[in-house]
Chains A and B, each alone.
Chain A
Amino acid sequence: RKEVEQDPGPFNVPEGATVAFNCTYSNSASQSFFWYRQDCRKEPKLLMSVYSSGNEDGRFTAQLNRASQYISLLIRDSKLSDSATYLCVVHGGGTSYGKLTFGQGTILTVHP
């Protein structure tokens, strides 16, 4: 079983749609969680951290369920510029401090 699993998509949605991505992780000792965004032929960049209480940044909402080892990202009112690959990322902490494990990514295409 992969350490971090995501639905690879692709998701094709019209502008203005709401889209949700899910992710599960296998290591219950994982400490912190993130969503990174990667544009085509570019490097990954941090989109947002994910907190246990859930957090929101504009049109983006991230949720964490530690009991189910499940992370989600919700994008409301999709824009063309949201088209990218979204990577679910887990940080182990402890003796693995600093080390991130990346999911395979979910591809999103927003069309006019």
Chain B
Amino acid sequence: AQSVTQLGSHVSVSEGALVLLRCNYSSSVPPYLFWYVQYPNQGLQLLLKYTSAATLVKGINGFEAEFKKSETSFHLTKPSAHMSDAAEYFCAVSVALYSSASKIIFGSGTRLSIRP
């Protein structure tokens, strides 16, 4: 069965520091992987997606993620944190339901805090 595991429920970094949010996946087939961000009391916004093209995926707001099959990882990074990056981040994998539908299985989330 496909799943994702996010390491660390809470990550705190200083403004301007590197952001690294960890995600490992489990999948018996080539996975479709996503990172979503959720600001307080809002829905989820897609940051980036991996769909078996380039292994380094660039997203919005300066985030990127690298798909590493050998490590079954899809970690999210940003070179320099900004105060506005404080939010909950979810790693997710898409699982086919049947011919036209799929469901997203989410990790448990990582809350990112930014210190001034």
A interacts with B: no
Spell out A's residues near B (CB within 8 Å): none
Residues of B at the A interface (CB closer than 8 Å) are none
